[in-house]
Every structure is written in C-alpha cells, then in structure tokens.
A and B are shown apart, each in its own frame.
Chain A
Amino acid sequence: MASIDTDARSRAGRRPNRLFKNMNAKLASLPMMFTALVVFLGGTIWTITYSFTSSGLLPRLEWAGLEQYARLWSSRKWLVSIENLAIYGFLSLILTLVIAFILAALLDRKIRGEDTFRTIFLYPFALSFIVTGLVWQWILNPQFGVQDVVRDLGWTNFNFDPLNNPEIVLYGLLIAGLWQGTGLIMCIMLAGLRGIDEDIWKATRVDGIGTVKTYLVVIIPMMRPVFVTSLVLIGSGIVKLYDLVVAQTSGGPGISSEVPAKYVMTSMFGGQNLGQGFAASTMMMLSVIIILIPWAYLEFGGRKRG
C-alpha cells in the first residue's frame, strides 16, 4: 500500500509539466514517431482497408467486400505467381541452408586463406539484384553463354536454356538468387560455428566421433538459434523477390516466372487496378506474418531473453 501511495504522490507532483518533461528527446523523436505511426502503421491499415474496396484507377472508398480477393484467387497469373514463389522459396530455403552451412563448416576447418574465400563468397551480396539478374541473364544466354560453351566442348546436344524454357525458368532464377544470397547466410553460420565451445570438439574427439558425424549430430542441434535466424532472413527475402525477376526474365517466358511482388506492382502502377494490388499486397503481408509468428514464438515465447 505504501508503495502505491508514494507512486501516486510523485506522479501527482510531476503532472503539471509531464508533457514537457524530456521535451528535447520527444521533439527529436518526431521523425521516428511520424514514420512509425503514419507511414508504417497508417500505411498498412490504409492498404488493408482499401483492399476491400472497388478502387481502380484511383483509390475510392466503395465497399466491395471480398470481391478483390475472389478475383485475385481466380486470376491465373496470381496462381502462377504463388506457385512459383512456393517452389522457388522451398528450393531456395533448403539449398541456401545446406550450401551456406557446408561452406561455413569448410571455412571453419582452420584453413589458410579464409579471408580470401570469404571475400569471394560474400561479394555478390554487395551487388544489387538488378546487376545479379543481368549478369546471369548473360551467362545463361543460349546463343553465347554456358549452353554454347558446353556445346563447343563437344556435347553438341547439350541443352540448358532456362531463361527461355517455362519448365525450368525458376532454376535460372534460383542459380542467380543463390549466388547472390548464400554468402550472407554463410557468414551468419560461420559466426555461429565460431561461437561453439572448443571443448565440444575435444570431447567428441576423445569419444572417437568422426568430423562429419559431429557436425550432424552435435553441432547442428546446438546451432538452432542461428538456423532460425537464417530461416527468417531467407524467408522474408523470398517474399520480397522482385528486382531479380524484373532484371533476369521480366516474368517470362509468358507468365512462367511471375512472382507476387511483381503482380502487385503491375496491378498498382501498370494495370490501373489498385484494388487488386492492395489485395495482393495484403496477402503478401499475411504470408510474412505466417512465417514470423512461429519464429517470434520460438524466439520470445519460450523463455525470456535479454
């Protein structure tokens, strides 16, 4: 009781100038408040609200219920986009994790020239998706690129033309995407491996467990937080997949490499079909939330950490 009393009293004493207390900090934080409340929160609520309207060329508050969503899910282009993202996402997730972990483990073997290797694996990450897409478009060029080079070597029937073949165009994107992104995950995993106690290695050596088996059975389970972080990173990156597709394939051939982010952009700024863009972007946000909730639960739900 006493503590509540003093609390109330001190609060009452401060009341007259509470708003002006710490005034400079509040003034200085105005840009942050504006960004958080108006741009991020306001913008998101605005888009979700207008996704239930019949907005076309201009946003209009004409209630249309779930009509935009019904149209969205009956659009073939959207369904192709979703399917592409699912396939690309699944493969990219698995391959990034596997490749990045193997590279990190190799670099962790106390090798010479670690810095050089790491520099080479990571530099693509400094490049934009536009640059990445354009380079790989050139390397995969059927007339002059890899296909041509292999044919010149004697395998005249060699066929590898992902950018013009709807069946395998996603693999063309995947090759470029992995090249750009694995370096980052490798660095994060390497940091995780460095965080593992030397004594663990000594203990497994004493027990006569092989190196590969140690990684699989002991190290990987210990690195769960690192894997979760990587998973979130890769996952939210995948949902945003846009520039790479624009640069490398422009969604083609046909609509075979369309992705949701591109669907949003085309409906909003190309097709004068705002409502579709709002509905599609709301779906994108929903998928991010689906990815994030399990992570947030694992990270913050189980036990309290700093």
Chain B
Amino acid sequence: MADVGILATTKAAEQIAPRTLDGPSGPRPKRRFSRANIIVYGTLFIVAVYYALPLYVMIVTSLKGMPEIQMGNIFAPPIEVTFEPWVKAWSEACTGINCDGLSRGFWNSVNILIPSLIVSIAVASINGYALSMWKFKGSEVFFSILMIGAFIPYQVMLYPIVIMLREAGLYGSLSGLVLVHVAFGMPINTLLFRNYFAAIPEELFKAARVDGAGFWAIFFRIIMPMSLPIFVVALIIQVTGIWNDFLFGVTYISSPDRYPMTVQLNNIVNSVQGVKEYNVNMAATLLTGLVPLTIYFISGKLFVRGIAAGAVKG
C-alpha cells in the first residue's frame, strides 16, 4: 500500500510487462523428474503452502464453532461446518455502541468507493490527456510536483488537509474522504493515463483537429473509446487501494458509524471488551478481504499489469 517507485516501475513495466504475461516460452524441459526439477518444484510447493496457509486458516476458522476452536488446532478442517460466525460478523458484531455488524462498514466503504472511483478516474484521465496532448506552459511543472508528492509520506500532509477540509465544511464527512482519495490517487493514475495517451499516434490527433474537433470532443469521441484497457487497470488500482485504505479513513472520518470497513474491522477484532470470538473475527477479516480478493482472482493478469505499472498505491 504505497504509491511509490511509480516513476521507475512504470518504465520497467511498460517495457517488460506484456512479455511477462505471456508465461514461459521456449521448449518444455525433457526430463521431468531430474534432481534439479525436484528441487525447483519442491521449493515452490513449500513456499506456496506458506503463502496459501493464512487464507486457508481464515476460511477454516470462520467455519468452526468456538468450542471446536478451543479444542482443536487452527489448521484442522472444521468437523462441523457452521455459517453462524459469518452471519454474526456481518450483522451482529459490535463496535462501541453499534451492534449491527460489519455490514455498516461495508456499505460505508461502498459509499466511499463509488464516488471516489468515478471522480478520481475522471480527473486522472483528463489530466493525463491534457498532459500528453494539450501541453501548456507549466503543465510539466505541475506534473513533477505531483510525482514528487507521491513519494512524500502521507503523514506530512495529513494535518493541513484536515484544516482544508474543515474550512470547506467537509471534515468528518464521506465526501471529504472522497476528495482525499481523489487527491492521493491522482499521481499514479495521472502517470498511467499520460503514458498510455502519449503512445497514441499524433496523426490521429491532428486529423481530428483538422476536422474541427476540440479538447472535449477528441477526448470523448476518440481517446476514450480506444483506451479501455488503461481505464480497467486504473479501476483495479483504485478499487484495491481505496478499499484497503485505513489511514485516511481513520483520520478524516470523525464518527464511528461512518467508518470504512477496514477501520471497523480493526475496531471489532482489536476491541478489548468481551470474550474474543476468533471465528467471528476471522469471518469478519475474510469478509473485508473479499472485495479485493475477488478483483484479484477475476482480473488475473490485468491486476499484475496494474500493480506493475502503478507499483502499488494506498
């Protein structure tokens, strides 16, 4: 969760990513069970087990009852499968005085996510378009400041933004948080769009100009329709970044009943009161991770391309 290394990585990704995505090339190895192969596959398999284990533990724990958790070990599959922890996590778990479960945080996150997505992608794509095809005096300066800003730790800008939002009367509200996401998502997405649009042949642009199309007409009727892939990549980066955000949610939302899902999840699991219900906690954790995981497994190679190009955000 960082929007770092953008400059370098994009460059690397632009050159290399397409090739990576084709998978291995060249002839298949002939001997399948040579000693070297056993070492390669053995190591990969063991490491894969380590990486897959937490997801497995989450699923398994969330399907057990509390007595079974207290008796057995965390890696054992459930003897009696129960979906009660899921129901409880979704609609009954308590944070402070609210006991209506994670569903509240989920809908808050959705309410934050949708406007943030629309505004940030719209703004970033238009920035990228202006920066690549309608350069004006000073446009590169703004772009450079934006890129440098991406490397500065968020903590430096947190408080000034509190003041700005308070002045605008938006501090503590969802729309304030949306604006913050738009601002911090801007560097990486602008870079993404700018590089993509810069590769579009100039003749196309010139022909449209000769035909009398202006700034907006060229953008909506020519550039946008031919740039679908990059919009999808930006969408993936933004969805995972905004959904996984914790810092901005906890800083710019003032009342607990409007907290995004990650913040609420942390409050539920790390609350000190009451008996710890590990199965409910893991169900809640899994629920929160479900949105980015779904995006990840569906988008597959586009996700890899997205993160390689954007090298992380959030």
Contacts and interface: CB of A to CB of B under 8 A. Distances in A.
Interface of A: 21-22, 24-26, 28-29, 31-33, 35-44, 46-48, 50, 59, 102-103, 106-111, 114-115, 117-132, 134-139, 141, 144-145, 148-149, 152, 179, 183-184, 187-188, 190-192, 194-195, 198, 211, 225-226, 228-230, 232-233, 235-237, 239-240, 242-243, 246-247, 250, 261, 264-265, 268-269, 274, 277-278, 280-282, 284-285, 288, 292, 295, 299, 306
Nearest to B22: A194
A180 to B, nearest CB: 9
By secondary structure, the B interface counts as: helix
Contact of B127 (A29, A107, A237): A29
Interface in B112-168: 123, 126-127, 129-131, 134-136, 139, 142-143, 145-146, 148-149, 151-161, 163-164
Residue among B2, B55, B307 facing the most chain A CB atoms (10 A cut-off): B2
11 contacts: A29-B130, A43-B160, A108-B24, A119-B300, A121-B51, A123-B293, A127-B293, A233-B312, A247-B266, A288-B151, A288-B152
Interface stretch (B13-21, B82-90, B96-104, B221-229): B13-21
Contact of B159 (A136, A137, A138, A278): A278
Ranked nearest first, the 7 interchain pairs of A and B with the lowest CB-CB distance are: A40-B149, A128-B244, A25-B134, A24-B215, A236-B4, A43-B160, A233-B5
Contacts of B161: 39, 43
Nearest to A51: B156
A273 to B, nearest CB: 12
B201 interface: no
A284 B157 CA distance: 12
A236 B146 CA distance: 16
B38 to A, nearest CB: 12
Interface of B: 1-2, 4-5, 7-9, 11-13, 15-17, 19-20, 23-26, 28-29, 36, 40-41, 43-44, 47-48, 50-55, 57-58, 61, 69-70, 73-75, 123, 126-127, 129-131, 134-136, 139, 142-143, 145-146, 148-149, 151-161, 163-164, 182-183, 186, 190, 214-216, 240, 243-247, 251, 262, 265-266, 269-270, 278, 281-282, 285, 288-289, 292-293, 295-297, 300, 303-304, 307-308, 311-312, 314
B52 A126 contact: no
Contacts of A22: 134, 136
A168 B95 CA distance: 31
B312 A135 contact: no
Contact of A179 (B51, B247, B251): B51
A153 to B, nearest CB: 9
A120 B1 contact: no
A32 B190 contact: yes
Contact of B296 (A126, A141, A229, A288): A126
Given A139-B74, A226-B12, A277-B159, A25 B215 contact: yes
B74 A149 contact: yes
A103 B20 CA distance: 15
B278 A144 contact: yes
Residue among A118, A119, A228, A295 facing the most chain B CB atoms (10 A cut-off): A119
A151 B96 CA distance: 36
B146 A32 contact: yes
Contacts of A25: 130, 134-136, 139, 215
A137 B282 CA distance: 11
By secondary structure, the A interface counts as: helix
Given A25-B130, A29-B127, A195-B16, A125 B307 contact: yes
Residue among B73, B131, B159 facing the most chain A CB atoms (10 A cut-off): B159
B186 A35 contact: yes
Nearest to A21: B136
B155 A130 contact: no
Nearest to B216: A24
Nearest to A122: B304
A36 B2 CA distance: 18
Given A44-B152, A138-B282, 18 more contacts: A24-B215, A29-B136, A32-B142, A33-B142, A39-B149, A102-B43, A110-B28, A121-B47, A122-B303, A130-B288, A138-B58, A192-B12, A195-B16, A225-B12, A265-B155, A278-B159, A281-B156, A299-B8
A149 B73 CA distance: 6
B266 A135 contact: no
Nearest to B285: A134
A35 B183 contact: yes
B74 A138 contact: yes
A56 B44 CA distance: 53
Contacts of B61: 138
Nearest to B264: A130
Nearest to A128: B244
B308 A187 contact: yes
